[in-house]
Amino acid sequence: VKNIKSITILTLALVLFASFVSNSDAAEPTQKKRTYKENPIPFKDWVATLRAEAMEQGISESTFDTAFATIVIHPRVIELDRKQPEFTLTFEKYIAGRVTPGRISRGQDRIREHFDTIKAVEQKYSVQSRFIAAIWGMETNFGGYIGGMDVIRSLTTLAYDPRRATYFRKQLLLALKILEEGHIDYANMKGSWAGAMGQGQFMPSSFYAFAQDFDGDGKRDIWKNEGDALASIANYLGKNGWNQAQTWGRQVTLPAGFDAANGESLKRTSKRGCRAMRQHTKSISLRKWNDLGIRRLNGDDLPDVAVNASLVRPAGPAGPAFLTYGNYQAILSYNCSNYYAIAVGQLADELLYAAKGN
Ligand SMILES: [Ca+2]
C-alpha cells in the first residue's frame, strides 16, 4: 500500500511539474502582444457628456440617473473583450458541443411548451419553426441562459474603452432608449458581457431593427416573453431574405479528384455576403452540382429543383462538405460564421427528425 501511495505521489508530482512546464510554455507569447490605449478623459467627465447627449436624444433624467446611479467600469468586460478573437475549436468539436442530444431534447420540450405560439410566429413571419427554434437553442439554450450581466454597465465599459467606442456608445444610447420606452426596466435589463440581450441575444441596434411585440401589450419583451422573443428571431431572419420554401442546405459527398478537376472554375468571384462567404465556392444550380458528381450523404442524387447553392468545407479540403442555399446567408446575418450557420442548420434538422420520430 505504501508503494502505491508513493507512486501516486510521484505521479502527481510529475503531473504538476508537467503542467507547470506547459503553463510556462503557454506564457510565451506566440503572437505579438497588442497594446491598448486608455481613455484620457476621466470617467466622471465622460459620463457627464454622455448624459448631455442622452438628454438631447430624449432620454429623461430619471431614466438616465436610475441606470447610472451605481455605474462603474467593469474590468471583467474588458478582459473578455481582449480575449475574444482566440477561436481555436475545431469544426468537429464546435458542432459536437452545440448540437447535442441534451439540447435537442430540451428543444423538443420547449417547442412543445410553446407550440401554439411558435406555430403562429411561423405563419406570421414565413420562417419554419425549426429554424426559429434552432437560433433560440444556439443563442440561449431555448431561453435557459440569457446572460446575467447588467447591460448598461457592459455597454458603458465598452463605450468608455477606446477600442470600439463609437459602436458601443451608439448601442448604449439605444439601450437607454429601450429603458425610456419601458420595454424592460433597468433591474431586469440583463445580457451577455458585450450587451447582447434576451432569448435571441439582440444588440440594442438589432432590437430597434427587428424586435417585435407579438402579444401586442406595447412592450417588446425579448427577455421574458417567448412570443416576443421568437417573433423577433423570425423577423430577423425574414428581414434578411429568408425563403420559407427552402431549407438551409445539406451535407454532401464529393467524387474523387473533385478539386483537381473543378477547383479553379468554381472559385467565388462575387463580393456579396459577409466574410464567411469568402470560404464558399461560387453559387451554381443543384443540377450542375449533380452533374459534377456531388451526391447526398446516402449516395442519392441531389433534389431536382431550381435552386442555386454554394459549397463550403469549414474544416478544410479534407473535412465534411456542405451545399448551402440562400437561407444560409440569412443565418450568417445573425452571426457571420460558417461554424455557427451549419450548427443552426443541423440543429434545425435534428429538431425536425426528433419531431417526426415522436
Ligand atoms: Ca409584448
**Residues in CB range of 314: below 8 A, 6 or more apart:** 91, 279, 320, 322, 338, 339, 342
Q: Please say if the pLDDT value at position 343 is more than 60.
A: yes
On the CB side of 102, how many CA atoms lie within 13 Å of its CA? 5
Distance 263 CA to ligand 1 centre (A): 50
Distance 152 CA to ligand 1 centre (A): 22
Distance 54 CA to ligand 1 centre (A): 25
Q: What is the pLDDT of residues 133-161, one digit of tens each?
A: 999 999 999 999 999 999 999 999 999 99
pLDDT at 104: 97
Average pLDDT over residues 204-232: 98
pLDDT at 17: 40
131 closest CA partner among 200, 186, 196, 83: 200
CA 96 to chain centre: 16
The band of 354, judged by pLDDT with boundaries at 50, 70 and 90, is confident
Distance 58 CA to ligand 1 centre (A): 23
Distance 331 CA to ligand 1 centre (A): 24
Average pLDDT over residues 261-266: 92
pTM over 0.85: yes
Distance 77 CA to ligand 1 centre (A): 30
pLDDT at 20: 36
Q: Spell out the alpha helix ranges (H) of 84-125.
A: 91-98, 101-113, 115-125
Distance 233 CA to ligand 1 centre (A): 14
Q: What is the pLDDT of residues 3-36, one digit of tens each?
A: 444 444 444 444 444 333 333 333 334 445 567 7
- Angle between helix 326-334 and 129-140 (nearest 10): 30
Distance 219 CA to ligand 1 centre (A): 4
Task: Tell me how far apart the alpha carbons of residues 58 and 56 are, in angstroms, rounded to a whole number.
Answer: 5
Place of cell 453559387: 283
Distance 226 CA to ligand 1 centre (A): 9
pLDDT at 16: 41
Distance 98 CA to ligand 1 centre (A): 29
Distance 337 CA to ligand 1 centre (A): 30
Q: Which of 24-28, 208-212, 272-276, 329-333 has the lowest mean pLDDT?
A: 24-28
Distance 230 CA to ligand 1 centre (A): 11
Task: Tell me how far apart the alpha carbons of residues 327 and 32 are, in angstroms, rounded to a whole number.
Answer: 38
